[in-house]
Every structure is written in structure tokens, then in C-alpha cells.
Structure 1
């Protein structure tokens, strides 16, 4: 009888879809999210292999071909399929390398902001009331300032470089992770499995990082996906204002800043970097919506 029960249990477990399969089943129900995932995959591929895909060095200047139009416009040539900028640099090469810089910015900002935010959120969720109040009031003060304005102030203090821009953006985004993590921790710490862990002798650190944190990751993952797009937008905005990446770095925001005076007579030097930012951010936001639908049990349909 026990052998039959064991066989039945193994059969049931074997037919039960894995967590990854279940996640994909819910994720693919959102067609926009799937499209966003494919576009994001292309974005990652371009960022990783930009040096192989780009026909030229992004800073190489062809002075005889300044403001060369794209190939489909009269006067264009296949040597520069997306045209050139005001100093003769190939737009296609700069756009491809710009994807690498944007991806790098997104990764660094999300890792720094999420790491610091999760640590502070865990501390606030388990700390005495006075320390919790201090941490959260500090986060409220940061959130009271417009994010881009605060990032501008921080970059002005640290100096206008891409690294400093990433640090500033990470600090601005960190309060969102703190509030989200704290709210999840306060919701989880009263549940029975946390009480059981404490009864069997789990210490505070083990309870925080091993017992509670894994059950708080779903909303944090969604926040990380949305923060990725925010980081790209903010980095482009700082670059456009001259407070982020500096010329001749092929960063999309910096490319827009360099092309401002050519809007009317060379539309491609402005439109193409803008489209790159738009498509990338839109795809990440669509993917974030799909992650929310797949990871939030309240949104799952039985």
C-alpha cells in the first residue's frame, strides 16, 4: 500500500509543471510582454556584440562625409546606411555602441540600487521602531525631491561623468527598493513559517536573508525591471544636459545633445537616437508588466 502511494505521489510530482514552466505559461499570456522580451533580447545581443556588428569605430571621423543622409534618402550611401553626424562619425556604429553603454548603465544602477535598498529595507523591517522611523523618514526626504533634479544636484557635486551619473541615479532609485522591501518584510514576518524558523533556533540574520528575503523577491524583480528602463532614461537625460557621459562617448543622450542644432537639416542625427531610447525603454516596460502578471499570485488566473 505504501509503495502504491509513493508511486502515485511520484507520478503527481512528475506531471506537475516546474516553477519556470509555470512562470513562462503566465508570462506568455501577455503578448506585449513577449514582444518586449524579444526586443530586449535583441538589445542585449547588440550590446554584447557591438564591436563585431559595428562597421566602424564609434569615434572615427570621416570629414568628407559630414551629415551624410541615410541610404534610403537622396544622397545616401551604403557605406553609411544610417548616415553620419556633424563630424562624420557613422551613426549605425554609434547607435550599436550606445546600446552597450545603456545596458551597462542599467545593470550597474539596478545592482547598486537594489543591493542597498534591499539591505535597508530588511533592516527597517526587523529593526526597533525608532530605527525604522529614521530610515523611512530619510527615504521620504529623498522621494520628496524630483528624481532628475536630485540626480542633477548629485552629479554637479560629484562631477559630470558617466560613472557619477550612475551613482546619482542609483541613489535616487534606492528609496523605491527600501519601501518595497520593508512592506514585503512586514507582511511576511508575521506568518507561520517565520515563527517556526525562530522556534527551531534561527537567528535574526538567518531569518532575514534565508527565511524572509526569498519570499519578498517577486515584487523586487518587477521593480528591478522597471528601474532598468528608468535608469536608461535618466542617464540619457543627464547626458543630454551635459551632466552624464561626455563627448565623444557614443551614449544616446549625449548623441541627442550633440545633434540639437541639426534638427531641421539633418533629422536622422536626432531621430535615430531618440527612437533607440524609445524602443528600448518601451520593451523593458512591457516586459516588466509581464513579470508582474507572472510573479504576482493575485493576478494569476486559475
Structure 2
């Protein structure tokens, strides 16, 4: 008996911590690791962009309008990625623009996830009639194309970055509601919930303390993917003139300002588009890695 207990104790001590175990499974996905590094670079630029950028993002160099990048004839080292139609430095605007895109992602995911989790928990524990009402409302929201619904909401609230974030959060919220509800309904049938109810745990404690922590894995993955969706939708609204307004160096707004110069100055459209593409791709790769690391069914024994 003592040998068995000693062996069991050794296995417990040998078992890696949760963070170490998560990293072990996450790093098996090479694309996710690459996405994490790219995401870290853009996050660093978002945090320290105003101090890293070589010029002020709104400063206009009138003598250097539509100047090409340094490697093209006519380019100079003072504007490595060239300038836009108003003579503003492209590199500086891209770096500062990362801050706006990440700010949009953080705010949208925070609002959508917090609201969706609360409503999803209520729906999972609510009587059948209330659950049906909540889910039918979510179905109505999901029936509309997400970008179209966001456009309608921004048109009602007024064009601005703040209103665009509110609209995108409302559009993304049903995904969290449905995901949380499905996880809650699955967890409610398990023995540990029944045991907690038997010992006298109230409904609020069951929802927040007992069930919610075991529903977080799919929600975290959804949050990562929603982050990229929020950046894309914000860029789309900015491109359509319904999001961030000039002279804000937001990537979608930069594309909108430069579209008429696409044939004359390729860099004013290419670099903001690449920034959106690379950021969204990196976040999606990270989401795949998070799914592999957090979903026990996908873990290799």
C-alpha cells in the first residue's frame, strides 16, 4: 500500500503544471507558435507605437506627397515605406494604426464575451420558456449578415470608432451566448454539479463558481477568433466611412483614403492591406493552437 501511495505521489509531482501542459500542446502546432510571435510583435507596436514611429502619424510633408518606398526609384530613407497622398509617413501610420486595431479587438471581445457569457449562463439555467425567448432573439440577430447589421447599427448611432465597436460587439455577442449555453447544458448533467446542488449551493454559485470555470476553454478559443473578426469588421467599416474618421491612422480608413491612388501609388493600399492580412492570419493561427491545447479531445495521449 505504501509503495502504491509513493508511486502515485511521484506521478502527481511529475505531472506538469497547467501552464506548462498548455504550452506543451500549444507548441506542437508550429503555425500557432508563428502566429503567437507575429501577434507579439504587433502587440508591442500597439503598446509603444507612438514612441517607435519615426514621425508623427498625422504630420504632413507637403514636399513629399506620394513618395515611393526606399527601394523604389525616388524613395528616401526618411520615409522607408513611402508617403500617402497628403505626405504622411506610411510606416508611422501603420505602426500607430496597430494601436487602434488592437484597441478595437480588446474592447469588442471584452463587451461581447462578458455580455454573451452572462446571457448564456442565464439561458442555460433558466426555465424553458425564458431560454426559448433568449435563443430566438439570438437567432434573429444571427439571421442578418454580420457586416450588414453592423452597418445598420452604425448608421443609427452615427459614424465613429466608438459606435463601430459597439455595433461589432452586438453582432458578435450571439456566438458567445450560444456557445456558453451549450457548454452549460452539457456541464449541468455531470456529477460534480449534482453534488454541489445537494450540499446546498445556490443557483448563482452553481452558475459562476461551479459551472463557468469548466466552460471557459471553448470561450477562450472563440474570443481569439472574435478578436480577428473585430479587426476585420472595424477595417471594413472604416473603409466604408462608417468607422474611424480621418485623420485617424486606422488601417481600414487608410485603405479608404488611398483607393483612388491604387494605380499610381501601389504602396498606399498594399501596406495597410498586408497589415490587416498578417494580423488576422496570425490571430487565427493562434486560435487553432488554443483549440488544440484546450480541447481534451484533441490532445494526444
User: For residues 11 and 105 of structure 2, what CA distance do their matches in structure 1 show?
Assistant: 42
What is residue 245 of structure 2 aligned with on the other side? 246
What is residue 192 of structure 2 aligned with on the other side? 193
What is residue 213 of structure 2 aligned with on the other side? 214
- Cα offsets for 1:195-221 (capped at 9, x unmatched): 000111100000000000000000000
Structure 1 length-normalised TM:
0.98
Structure 2: unaligned runs, 5 residues or longer: none
Residue 9 of structure 1 deviates from its aligned partner by 4.2
Structure 2 length-normalised TM:
0.98
- Cα offsets for 1:43-102 (capped at 9, x unmatched): 101100101110111000010100010000000000000000000000000000010000
What is residue 292 of structure 1 aligned with on the other side? 291
User: For residues 297 and 15 of structure 1, what CA distance do their matches in structure 2 show?
Assistant: 19
User: For residues 260 and 4 of structure 2, what CA distance do their matches in structure 1 show?
Assistant: 76
Superposition pairs for residues 1-302 of structure 1, below 5 Å? 7-302=6-301
User: For residues 146 and 262 of structure 2, what CA distance do their matches in structure 1 show?
Assistant: 28
User: For residues 236 and 11 of structure 2, what CA distance do their matches in structure 1 show?
Assistant: 53
User: For residues 34 and 87 of structure 1, what CA distance do their matches in structure 2 show?
Assistant: 38
User: For residues 15 and 177 of structure 1, what CA distance do their matches in structure 2 show?
Assistant: 36
Residue 300 of structure 1 deviates from its aligned partner by 1.0
User: For residues 24 and 79 of structure 1, what CA distance do their matches in structure 2 show?
Assistant: 41
Residue 288 of structure 1 deviates from its aligned partner by 0.3
User: For residues 25 and 89 of structure 1, what CA distance do their matches in structure 2 show?
Assistant: 44
User: For residues 95 and 216 of structure 1, what CA distance do their matches in structure 2 show?
Assistant: 37
Residue 231 of structure 1 deviates from its aligned partner by 0.1
Higher mean displacement: 10-19 or 207-216: 10-19
Residue 19 of structure 1 deviates from its aligned partner by 1.1
Structure 1: unaligned runs, 5 residues or longer: none
Residue 5 of structure 1 deviates from its aligned partner by 6.2
- Cα offsets for 1:203-260 (capped at 9, x unmatched): 0000000000000000000000000000000000000000000000000000000001
User: For residues 6 and 103 of structure 2, what CA distance do their matches in structure 1 show?
Assistant: 50
User: For residues 5 and 275 of structure 1, what CA distance do their matches in structure 2 show?
Assistant: 58
What SS is found at the alignment partner of 1:196? helix
What SS is found at the alignment partner of 2:159? coil
User: For residues 11 and 187 of structure 1, what CA distance do their matches in structure 2 show?
Assistant: 33
What SS is found at the alignment partner of 1:254? helix
Number of matched pairs: 301
